[in-house]
Chains A and B, each alone.
Chain A
């Protein structure tokens, strides 16, 4: 019995000791918090500044926050893609960030009082430059012979797949379905997510895969492999940004604010390229890793505001679905 009491006392004491270090709870997608994502190094860097304990909880960001509502433990949530930001904003769960975003280096103007962007990329078709000739426009890809093998992701289950149908819509507008019909014979298959498609590409089952302009950087930097290229289209590329927001219900508003400000610092931003394999949102190009500086960049960036995207989404997916169901 005495042992039991001692244990209980010990636990209480430990809790009291822990309570002196405030804990900042950050919700993040699984890839962000994983060993290979940016999460761990960001945690170390931020804990040095804040004298706090940063704790990630990983999983599906928005579904979880919607389930928990204002009872959520999260102080900050990081990893919102452009396609869920409207829905996230409408929950009213987030507070304005009040961070000075003048340091942003995004390829387009960005004003948002709730979400702070931390990295971006563009969807692009990746190919092996030793086997396949590149394409300098969407038109060229559509005109490619039908034995070209392309794998894409499903717009109903994948972010990049959704960005692609919006991209086609931005380039072809009314004629989107026609464009899809021309692309259809070359599309070998459609996958649930990015990993399956990219696996099919690296296994040689596909010549071309839908991925990001930043994908070749991984092969250049981590594998010293220069054979993977992104086809840069003259019509422009659809743009995807990831952002973070502060929960209105946080009981550590100062700490949460400090984290939000940390996002745009050089220390945070330099960690992004080689962990999330995307472009940092607030870092001048000369500070990017060399492999990123070599990447060809699209001249034009195509992007729908969240309201436009929400209005177009269903039509764009339907054009894809009906053309590929023939």
Chain B
């Protein structure tokens, strides 16, 4: 029962950390504001694009994850790591990278021009979806791949000896359990899109709720309206979470002896094609980011290093804190509570925290801890999505055995569960660290000059016309994020591939 109490406390903490700031903004704004017709159409577009972005990300991720699960080839693990990069790129850099491939003067259109073919136009609702798939396909692939790798090899042997369909017997039940959660997380991330949706959407038709919040804050200073929109975001996030839980079903596939899976099914050609397409789609824009960043890398100012160190410290601390908080939260209720964290605008969250803390401390003195807290809240849903299936498997497979052996509490976790969770925990910690590293976050709301983070540094360079240096800073940022991700992810996988 002690575990139950932990869960409740952790869930309440998370909910409070999100809801209280929103309430603070509401209170200061004097209640809910009314929404205009333009706000409602922004809301419709927001939900529409989030739905399609999540649907397509997940649908495309299924064949890619399956191909990665059943093929072994040289460089596979590096490819899986690097393919995750779009998810952790700073938005502005990712957009410029995407457009240097898909834009009017991008690689694809240059090739089409050479071939005298009709040019493609990326700008429009389809562009918004393509960009969001670019960002979220890596996450979807990793979540689903993890489900595939968790199917015990003994099960495949049984399927083989029965000549049964691997898909219906093993893969479909696994997908039914993984997909709703993956969809919900991506849907909620896309609800918060603003700069990407606007730029790729080509204009005011692609107006999202987040843009309306930004406008309400920066131009109209209409806190009531900003808070109302944040409440809508909360509701949407909550509903998405509930629907996902309702749809999540499928059986556990039972325990195995962790033997290496030997696959015989599927066409190597088809799998190869899926992997190549996904790799091209994700890596070409990334290549553009690298090419743009290299020329300026040696002339970066020295002042970038303190900012880099601050970002690294935030990233590592965020990873540790998130994991500590996630272990007790890895339940249904915990997952819903955590979805609130990414559904609310960072702007509202930051302003709410500012309002709450301002009577007690100078906001700029706690800019870094607040940034850290917001990063933890934002990463929790991913982390829970990553570790929950593993925890449930471990509990259903080994919980009784552990009890029979008289193991409980910390000993049960240390001896039985944690070793089985190394992979998801490593991946989750890596993802959190990388996300925190790249997040501009609430630091823009209140800080002191010379105390910024690496992403802030990059945005400042851009604002000062120094595009070349900004791209170099972005390259440094991506490289360090990926390195952090790789170190954590690798630490989880070492000795786990028994």
Contact = CB atoms under 8 A, between A and B. Distances in A.
A31 B362 contact: no
Interface string B92-111: 10011001100111100000
Given A33-B449, A87-B221, A199 B92 contact: yes
B204 A190 contact: yes
Given A57-B448, A157-B214, A320 B459 contact: no
B406 interface: no
A195 B362 CA distance: 30
A324 B203 contact: yes
B280 to A, nearest CB: 20
A37 B461 CA distance: 10
A154 B217 CA distance: 15
B459 A195 contact: yes
A175 interface: no
B446 A203 contact: no
A187 B201 CA distance: 12
A68 B203 contact: no
Interface string B25-59: 00010000000001000000000000000000000
Nearest to B446: A59
A192 B195 contact: yes
Contact of A325 (B205, B292, B354, B464): B205
Contacts of B396: none
Interface string B366-379: 00000000000000
For chain A, the bracket of interface size reads 35 or more
Contacts of B292: 203
Nearest to A217: B465
A156 B96 CA distance: 22
A198 B105 contact: no
A157 B199 CA distance: 12
A156 B214 CA distance: 9
Contact of A189 (B200, B218, B362): B200
Contacts of B143: none
Secondary structure dominating the interface of B: helix
Interface residues of B, number: 57
B289 to A, nearest CB: 11
A187 B444 CA distance: 30
Interface in A103-154: 149, 154
A154 B464 contact: no
Contact of B104 (A68, A188, A277, A325): A188
Contacts of A67: 28, 351, 354-355, 358
Nearest to B95: A196
A31 B221 contact: no
A320 to B, nearest CB: 7
Contacts of A298: none
Contact of A196 (B105, B199, B355): B199
Given A56-B448, A57-B446, A205 B104 contact: yes
Interface of B: 28, 38, 92, 95-96, 99-100, 103-106, 123, 194-195, 198-205, 207, 211, 214-215, 217-219, 221, 292, 301, 303, 351, 354-355, 358, 362, 364, 444-450, 456, 459-467, 470
Given A196-B195, A219-B465, 17 more contacts: A30-B456, A34-B463, A36-B466, A63-B221, A84-B219, A154-B204, A162-B219, A189-B201, A191-B195, A192-B194, A194-B463, A200-B99, A200-B103, A203-B96, A205-B104, A321-B204, A324-B205
